[in-house]
Structure 1
Amino acid sequence: MSRTEFVESLGGIFEHSPWVAEGAFQHSPFRSVGQLHDTMLEIARTAERSQVEALLRAHPDLATKLQVSPLSAAEQQGAGLDQLSPEEFTLLNDLNKKYTDTFHFPFILAVRGKIKEDIMNAISERVNRSLQEEWEQALYEIGAITKFRLQDLLMDGGTLS
């Protein structure tokens, strides 16, 4: 792939952060999806703090009524976040606001395989952590989210197609 094709294909894996794919291109070719993911995650984790903050802030609030990327929308629907009762939506919205007010980035959780109760429990617990703990947890969750996205997009017997 050319640099342009690579970034166009993989630029959305890290939410609204094509700079991660741009940085990874320099390390191609990749022997596996895992190697590509590890490279992309390393680029994201070791970027300047302001870039990492922008990556964290690029993630949508869970169950938001705002516009989200198609990948985020599908992931949230799979966890049942599109079927919250009005009371659940209000509670999650309040928790999201408290979390964002505390940490200055949205609550990030890899929701695949989780149900809405898992998500509500996780945000209720994590909103009381330290900034450093949540920074690391958010990056861990981004790693899980992007691994799922890459595998969905590129898996073909463990190698890039």
Structure 2
Amino acid sequence: MITISSVNALSPQAFLDAFGDVAEHSPWVAREAQSFRPFHNRDQMIAAFERAIRAANRDAQLALICAHPDLATKAKLTQDSSREQAGAGLDSLTEEEFARFSELNARYKSCFGFPFIFAVKGATKHMILESFAVRVGNEREAEFAGALAQVCRIFRFRIEDRVSP
């Protein structure tokens, strides 16, 4: 783990190297967040990442959401996504569960035009499926806002794993 004072001492490139992957395939978030340094603590750093996302235009926000993989996919995942999905049991689904996730992923994308985002750390596959089934019935704007909130939860967990309190 790195301390917040060490985070503040990183060069812009070193900060990007250390945290550019916190927001899935979207290093621009870290690039924007670092402009709020120095951070007084880890929570302030997390808030800077959220501020960067909230300040972005809608196209950038949509691209960030779309950079996330489908849950329980057979596609190649980032190291963080693989670890997080495995922790929720998504790497050991039965054929029936995999089929259910695949069906919900397709249905959700068809309804909203972006993937279902769920910060899986600490969740079970059953909790995720339950949320999936409920959220697929939401309005698009509510789901867009919810997806951004879930993205923020994901990078909160990732920063908490890397930066000491």
Q: Separation in 2 of the partners of 1:23 and 1:48?
A: 13
**CA apart distance, 1:105:** 0.9
Could you tell me the TM-score, scaled by structure 1's length? 0.95
Q: Establish whether residue 52 from structure 1 lines up as the match of residue 61 from structure 2.
A: yes
Would the aligned equivalents of 2:116 and 2:132 in 1 still touch at CA under 8 Å? Answer: yes
Match of 1:84 in 2: 93
Query: Which of 67, 70, 73 is equivalent to 1:61?
Result: 70
Moved over 6 A (4+): none
Give matches, 1:80-159, under 5 Å: 80-155=89-164, 158=165
Counting aligned pairs with the same residue, the percent is 39
Which AA in structure 2 matches 1:64? Answer: T
**CA apart distance, 1:6:** 0.4
Q: Separation in 1 of the partners of 2:114 and 2:41?
A: 32
Q: Separation in 1 of the partners of 2:121 and 2:49?
A: 20
Q: Unpaired runs of 5+ in structure 1?
A: none
**CA apart distance, 1:113:** 1.2
Q: Separation in 1 of the partners of 2:48 and 2:33?
A: 6
**1:26 alignment partner, SS class:** helix
Match of 1:29 in 2: 38
Q: Separation in 2 of the partners of 1:68 and 1:105?
A: 17
Which AA in structure 2 matches 1:99? Answer: Y
Q: Unpaired runs of 5+ in structure 2?
A: 1-9
Q: Which has the higher contact order (CA 8 A, sep 6+)?
A: 2
Provide the alpha-carbon RMSD of the alignment.
0.7
Q: Separation in 1 of the partners of 2:118 and 2:78?
A: 15
**CA apart distance, 1:80:** 0.3
Would the aligned equivalents of 2:34 and 2:48 in 1 still touch at CA under 8 Å? Answer: no
Which AA in structure 2 matches 1:66? Answer: A
Which AA in structure 1 matches 2:38? Answer: P
Q: Separation in 2 of the partners of 1:94 and 1:12?
A: 28
